[in-house]
């Protein structure tokens, strides 16, 4: 059905796909079944390289993530990396409510660290829903920073000015895709003295 649908629109569809991929975009998003990358961006197969995990987290020792990012940056030479979080994210919610989650504990620790880093701001938000939403946004910011802390990302960045990193939030309550308009140069400037890996030669 899906095959015949595609072929009815373009008989060359699969032979074109088999020629290779040249996406300009790496999308890193949550595994949540409601947040489907191509759908929400209106993109077709071949247009976006994708990595998804619980709560769209970038952990430097995650070899799956590292392989995806390195391949995207060095081989595909993608120009843009988008970290996309979403409101009502179960992973973020769990991080706000400490309890023993078994296997998930170590994964959620990264999110709890984001909460701790921003607890001054978050604890001032009285309304629970708004605090939850804000942690979703701050998690996106921190994961964008985690991307530019990665050595091969910085190498490419210093050499070509790419990839550029963007932070988005998908609002599952109304379908809106929100660009957090993070100025990554400015954000990186704040932590450059700690994380700058620019070669000195
Ligand atoms: Co989620």
Q: What is the pLDDT of residues 71-130, one digit of tens each?
A: 999 999 999 999 999 999 999 999 999 999 998 999 999 999 999 999 999 999 999 999
pLDDT of residue 10: 85
Torsion of CA 85, 89, 92, 93, to 10 degrees: 160
Q: Which two tokens stand for residue 89?
A: 């994210």
Q: Return the number of other C-beta atoms located less than 10 Å from residue 68's C-beta.
A: 17
Where do we find the tokens 């978050």?
A: 122
* Per-residue pLDDT at 3: 87
- Looking at domain 21-185, which of 3.40.50.920, 3.40.1050.10, 3.30.1540.20, 3.40.120.10 is its CATH number? 3.40.1050.10
Q: What pLDDT shows up at residue 201? A: 65
**30 catalytic residue (yes or no):** yes
Question: Do 85 and 55 form a contact (C-beta atoms < 8 A)?
Answer: yes
3-state secondary structure of 144: helix
Angle at CA of residue 130, ends 127 and 135, nearest 5°: 125
Higher pLDDT pick, 6 / 71: 71
pLDDT, position 12:
85
Ligand 1: centre distance to CA 139 (Å): 11
Each residue's pLDDT tens digit, 13-65: 888 888 888 889 999 999 999 988 888 888 888 899 999 999 999 998 999 99
pLDDT computed for residue 76 by the predictor: 95
What is this structure's pTM?
0.92
Clarify whether 32 is annotated catalytic.
yes
CA–centroid distance, 19 to ligand 1, in Å, is 33
**Per-residue pLDDT, 20:** 82
Average confidence (pLDDT) over 134-161: 95
Q: Which of 5, 10, 22, 30 is catalytic?
A: 30
**Average of per-residue pLDDT across 142-149:** 96
Q: Are 144 and 153 in contact (CB under 8 A)?
A: no
Residue 83: what pLDDT?
A: 97
Q: Where are the alpha helices (DSSP H) in 54-195?
A: 63-70, 90-96, 105-117, 119-123, 128-148, 151-160, 184-195
Three-class secondary structure of residue 162 per DSSP: coil
Ligand 1 center to 136 CA (angstroms): 9
Residue tagged active-site, from 84, 86, 133, 144: 86
Shortest CA distance to 138 belongs to which of 157, 110, 107?
A: 110
- Is 89 in the active site? yes
Domain ranges across the chain: 21-185
What is the reported pLDDT for 39?
87
CB 148 within 8 A of CB 138: no
Catalytic residue (choose from 22, 34, 116, 173): 34
Give residue 107 CA to ligand 1 midpoint distance, Å.
13
Instruction: Compute the distance between CA of residue 171 and CA of residue 165 in angstroms, rounded to an integer.
Output: 20
Distance CA 58, CA 142 (A): 9
């Amino acid at each position: 059905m899906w095959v015949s649908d595609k072929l009815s629109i373009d008989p060359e569809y699969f032979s074109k796909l088999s020629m290779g991929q040249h996406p300009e975009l790496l999308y890193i998003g949550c595994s949540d079944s409601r947040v489907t990358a191509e759908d929400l961006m209106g993109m077709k197969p071949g247009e976006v390289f994708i990595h998804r995990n619980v709560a769209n987290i970038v952990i430097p020792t995650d070899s799956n993530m590292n392989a995806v990012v390195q391949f995207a940056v060095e081989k595909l030479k993608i120009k843009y990396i988008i970290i996309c979080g979403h409101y009502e994210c179960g992973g973020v919610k769990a991080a706000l409510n400490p309890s023993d989650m078994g296997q998930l504990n170590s994964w959620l620790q990264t999110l709890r660290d984001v909460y701790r880093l921003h607890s001054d701001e978050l604890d001032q938000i009285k309304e629970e829903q708004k605090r939850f939403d804000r942690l979703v946004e701050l998690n996106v910011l921190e994961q964008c920073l985690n991307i530019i802390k990665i050595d091969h990302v910085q190498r490419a960045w210093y050499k070509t000015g790419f990839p550029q990193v963007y932070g988005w939030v998908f609002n599952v309550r109304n379908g809106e895709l929100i660009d957090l308009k993070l100025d990554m140069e400015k954000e990186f400037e704040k932590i450059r003295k700690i994380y700058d890996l620019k070669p000195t030669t």
